[in-house]
Chain A
Amino acid sequence: DAGVIQSPRHEVTEMGQEVTLRCKPISGHDYLFWYRQTMMRGLELLIYFNNNVPIDDSGMPEDRFSAKMPNASFSTLKIQPSEPRDSAVYFCASSATQGRSQPQHFGDGTRLSIL
């Protein structure tokens, strides 16, 4: 299995620009998660989807952040306009509903730097 695929791996852009992060979950997984990792706050859940529907976006920091999942094999996380404090590593993860608890499988992340 290919695993969770994220792109790009690295992104450097100037403040105010739109940033789009992409994720392809593992085929057959019906849950998709977006996380952000920083030194100060650790790993935080931003939003998660079930069967392409957003279930909980309470972790999304501001209206500048938005996420979509147009189909079962693709999701995006957008930041518009970007700010230096958005610099972090953004992870996408997916899991399957097979019984109550299944491990989440993580991608390698996108390292985002906003100048």
Chain B
Amino acid sequence: KQEVTQIPAALSVPEGENLVLNCSFTDSAIYNLQWFRQDPGKGLTSLLLIQSSQREQTSGRLNASLDKSSGRSTLYIAASQPGDSATYLCAVSRAQKLVFGQGTRLTINP
């Protein structure tokens, strides 16, 4: 059974810092890995999707990497801003089914 773990559960950093969020998964037979953002009281917003054949994806200040063989992914956020404060979830997919981690709650302090 696929298990997804995100460490740390919570992270607080000052504005402007670069930071890395971590995601690990137990079964490397995945189709893709996705990073989502969830704001309080809202649904999930897809940030980046990395296909199983890819190593990384970039969107603006965000960069996500995937090492399928070791079962790890990282989300790098450059020059963090208070608006980046949210919970970040990673999810791995097999066919259409997503298995989510518990998320990292990120707070960026002005």
Contact = CB atoms under 8 A, between A and B. Distances in A.
Bound pair (A, B): yes
Interface of A: 4, 31, 33, 42-45, 48, 50, 55-56, 91, 93, 95, 100-109, 111
A91 B44 contact: yes
Q: Interface size for chain B: under 10, 10 to 19, 20 to 34, or 35 or more residues? A: 20 to 34
B97 A106 contact: no
A101 B97 contact: no
B92 to A, nearest CB: 11
Interface string B41-65: 1111110010100000000000000
B96 A95 contact: yes
B104 interface: no
Interface of B: 31-32, 34, 36, 41-46, 49, 51, 89, 91, 93, 96-103
B42 A108 contact: yes
Query: Dominant SS at the A interface?
Result: strand
B1 to A, nearest CB: 12
Contacts of A56: 97
A105 B101 contact: no
Given A31-B96, A43-B89, A95-B96, A107 B43 contact: yes
